[in-house]
Amino acid sequence: MSDVPWLLAMIVVPAVGAGVVAALPAAKAGLARLLALAVSLVVLVLAVLAAVAFDPGGPRFQLTSSAPWIPDFGVEFALGVDGIALVMLLLVGVLVPVVVGASWHETSTGKRSMRTFWAWLLALESTMVGVFAATDVFLFYVFFEAMLVPMYFLIGGFGGPNRQYAAVKFFLYSLLGGLVMLASVIGLYVVSNSQLGEGTFAFDALRQLDIDPGVQKLLFAGFALAFAIKAPLVPFHTWLPDAGAEAPIGGAVLLVGVLDKVGTFGFLRYCLPLFPDASRELAPWVLTLAVIGILYAALLAVGQTDLKRLVSYTSIAHFGFIALGIFAFSTEAATGAVLYMVNHGIATGLLFVVVGMLIARGGSRRIADYGGVSSRAPLLAGVFLLAGLASLALPGTNSFVSEFLVLIGSFPNRPVFTVVATVGIILAALYVLLVYQRTMHGPFRGVLAAAEEPPPPTAARPDGGGATAVLTAPAPGRTAPVRDLSPRELAVVAPLVALVLLLGFFPQPLIALVEPAVQATMSDAGVDPAGTSPAVGEEGTD
């Protein structure tokens, strides 16, 4: 089964789907979303089949395929996954159908047809698969940049009131990072040309190189800047709250759930194995940024008045933990970081989806506009609480396992950083519980309550400042009772809720899938796997 080109299919199917959806007549928006759902489910099935075909004990890169693409540059269209990339593909596979479901009733602000929304979403899925499946650095770069275009149109075309600014900021930040990385990519090629006699971008060949430490530092800096912007680490993070807040909910889920993971994935896949000396030497700098990010973003999250910005800031704090796990240089912490990448995608994805459902009801993003929602929509409140608890890594939820692994794995090598980072857990409890209390508990009030009451003649419309046009706010003069989760919404959150609990209690299959790849990565980075490996996944690595 392993000679079926699963990965290629996962890139081609959504790309073709995007083309078909875009070519539909504008009136067929309903058909477009059905098609989008079907295609995303096919990709999910493909991802699961790929995972079944993958042998955790086998060679590091599996399901590989390769074809010459631009021979003059030594570029190959080479695909393949290790355990880390595979779990990211599974995450993509799960999140995209959820996003399609969550965006089912999305409407555009202008006269734009929704079919372009579905087309861009599928195009985004195609590039997201490509970026994780590429084993050629040039190909990785191409997907890394190509990924920006669909997301740019999703934010700019279907986002909130400030979408133009957010879309351009997102694009320029990422593009700048990407271009600096391009310099490093070319630099790697030049080094390979002088050492191997033939320029190549193949990851497996590049990690054999013996690069001069000074050059390593420069090349590392190029990659690290791109990934630090993408991940994002403080102080390169300012684009995320804007993009996350203005993006349509579906876009926001994929933005923090998957796109940003490319940054941390890149650190682990490219920075550590290709530039081990530079990574080791410059690790304190990255760790400092990571820990600052954990505390600073958490503090900012506490102070947010906008629901979507709050979730964006919590993500920045979480990315600090992931970076801490990666640059602690222990197999255990790095395993934790990879799990964190998956779990954060699920937990924060769920949080964004629920927040989106709340905003859809109230038409406002302001926290102050909500109160006592749990009395009218207990299911919604329950899922919100679960997502919040997963976000603060309560034991029993999926995030706990990963955060715990990161912290105990990092402590032996980097005690100071780890201890400081632990403070972030307390802050996480603060921002999650505060927002839950403010919006869900207490007397029922705010925009939802106003919508239920018969309108007094002076009834002011909810403050327009935070109102998105995502879904229609109740028209004045009409009363609309607040509904709890509809069957569609339940179907959307159910898979994520199930995963939060499942991975909270049974993380072992995931760990077994990831661990060999992490060990291989760490041995490339010069870490002795025997000393620090947790007692799972004894499979040898190549």
Partner 1 sequence: MPPIEAPDLSFAALAPLLLVFGAACVGVLVEAFAPRAVRHPVQVGIALVGTVGGFVTTLLLAGTGEVTAGGALAVDGVALFLQATITALGALSVLLFAERSLDPARSAFVASAAVPAGSARDVQLAVSERVQTEVYPLVTFAVGGMMLFTSANDLLLMFVALEVLSLPLYLLCGMARRRRLLSQEAALKYFLLGAFASAFFLYGLALVYGATGSVRLAVIREGATGAGNDLLLVLGLALLVVGLMFKASVAPFHVWTPDVYQGAPTPVTAFMAAATKVAAFGAVLRLLYMAFGTAEEIWRPLVYALAIASMVVGAVLGLTQTDLKRLFAYSSIAHAGFLLTGVIGLSGDGEDPGLAATMFYLLTYGLTTIGAFALLTLVRDGSGEATHLSRWAGLAQRSPLTAALMTLFLLALAGIPLTSGFTGKFAVFRAAIETGAWPLAVVALVTSAVAAFYYLRVVVLMYFSDPAPDGPTIGVPGSPTTAVLAVTAAATLVLGIVPGSVLDLAQSAAVLVG
Helices 398-410 and 415-440: crossing angle, nearest 10°? 160
**With binding defined as CB under 8 A, does residue 182 bind partner 1?**
yes
When the beta carbons of 82 and 106 are compared against partner 1, the nearer one is: 106
What is the Cβ-side half-sphere exposure of residue 322, based on CA atoms within 13 angstroms? 29
- Pairing between strand 75-76 and 370-371? unpaired
**Least distance in angstroms from the C-beta of 348 to partner 1:** 26
Judged by CB under 8 A, which of 21, 98, 121, 142 binds partner 1?
142
**With binding defined as CB under 8 A, does residue 197 bind partner 1?**
no
Other CB atoms within a 10 A radius of the CB of residue 73 amount to: 13
Beta bridge partner(s), residue 397? 395
What does the per-residue mask of binding to partner 1 show for 71-110, with x meaning CB under 8 A?
xxx------------------------------------x
DSSP collapsed to 3 states, 304-340: CCEHHHHHHHHHHHHHHHHHHHHHCCCHHHHHHHHHH
**With binding defined as CB under 8 A, does residue 115 bind partner 1?**
no
When the beta carbons of 112 and 207 are compared against partner 1, the nearer one is: 112
Write the CA distances from 366 to 183, 220, 250, 349, 389, integer angstroms: 42, 41, 19, 19, 21
Two structure tokens written together for 506: 């049974």
> For residues 483 and 377, is the Cβ–Cβ distance under 8 A?
yes
Write the CA distances from 166 to 171, 238, 242, integer angstroms: 9, 10, 5
Q: CA 143 to CA 168: how far, in whole Å? A: 19
**Least distance in angstroms from the C-beta of 174 to partner 1:** 10
Per DSSP, the three-state class of 443 is coil
Segment contacting partner 1 (CB under 8 A): 177-185, 298-306, 332-340, 515-523? 177-185
Judged by CB under 8 A, which of 93, 101, 157, 266 binds partner 1?
157
**With binding defined as CB under 8 A, does residue 153 bind partner 1?**
yes
**Least distance in angstroms from the C-beta of 339 to partner 1:** 31
**Least distance in angstroms from the C-beta of 109 to partner 1:** 9
Judged by CB under 8 A, which of 97, 101, 156, 537 binds partner 1?
156
Q: CA 493 to CA 385: how far, in whole Å? A: 13
CA 453 from chain centre, in angstroms, equals 39
**Least distance in angstroms from the C-beta of 119 to partner 1:** 12
**With binding defined as CB under 8 A, does residue 414 bind partner 1?**
no
Q: Residue 443 class from Cβ within 10 Å (0-12 exposed, 13-18 middle, 19+ buried)?
A: exposed
**With binding defined as CB under 8 A, does residue 384 bind partner 1?**
no
CA 146 from chain centre, in angstroms, equals 16
Q: CA 136 to CA 21: how far, in whole Å? A: 30
**Least distance in angstroms from the C-beta of 145 to partner 1:** 5
**With binding defined as CB under 8 A, does residue 111 bind partner 1?**
yes
Per DSSP, the three-state class of 209 is coil
Amino acid, res. 376 = R
When the beta carbons of 122 and 373 are compared against partner 1, the nearer one is: 122
Q: CA 339 to CA 507: how far, in whole Å? A: 9
**Least distance in angstroms from the C-beta of 71 to partner 1:** 6
**With binding defined as CB under 8 A, does residue 163 bind partner 1?**
yes
**With binding defined as CB under 8 A, does residue 262 bind partner 1?**
no
**With binding defined as CB under 8 A, does residue 175 bind partner 1?**
yes
Judged by CB under 8 A, which of 24, 41, 168, 430 binds partner 1?
168
Residue-level length of the chain: 542
**Residue 413, H or E segment:** none
Two structure tokens written together for 447: 């925009």
Amino acid, res. 527 = V
Two structure tokens written together for 82: 């290790």
Q: CA 460 to CA 492: how far, in whole Å? A: 33
**With binding defined as CB under 8 A, does residue 196 bind partner 1?**
no
DSSP collapsed to 3 states, 79-94: EEECHHHHHHHHHHHH
**With binding defined as CB under 8 A, does residue 132 bind partner 1?**
no
When the beta carbons of 97 and 156 are compared against partner 1, the nearer one is: 156
When the beta carbons of 168 and 501 are compared against partner 1, the nearer one is: 168
When the beta carbons of 179 and 512 are compared against partner 1, the nearer one is: 179
Residues touching partner 1, count (CB under 8 A): 36
Two structure tokens written together for 55: 């042998």
Judged by CB under 8 A, which of 54, 117, 171, 201 binds partner 1?
171
**With binding defined as CB under 8 A, does residue 69 bind partner 1?**
yes
Judged by CB under 8 A, which of 6, 61, 120, 189 binds partner 1?
189
Judged by CB under 8 A, which of 15, 167, 334, 367 binds partner 1?
167
Judged by CB under 8 A, which of 118, 141, 352, 431 binds partner 1?
141
Binding site for partner 1 (CB under 8 A): 68-73, 110-112, 141-142, 145-146, 148-149, 153, 156-157, 163-164, 167-168, 171-172, 175-176, 179-180, 182-183, 186-187, 189-190, 193, 218
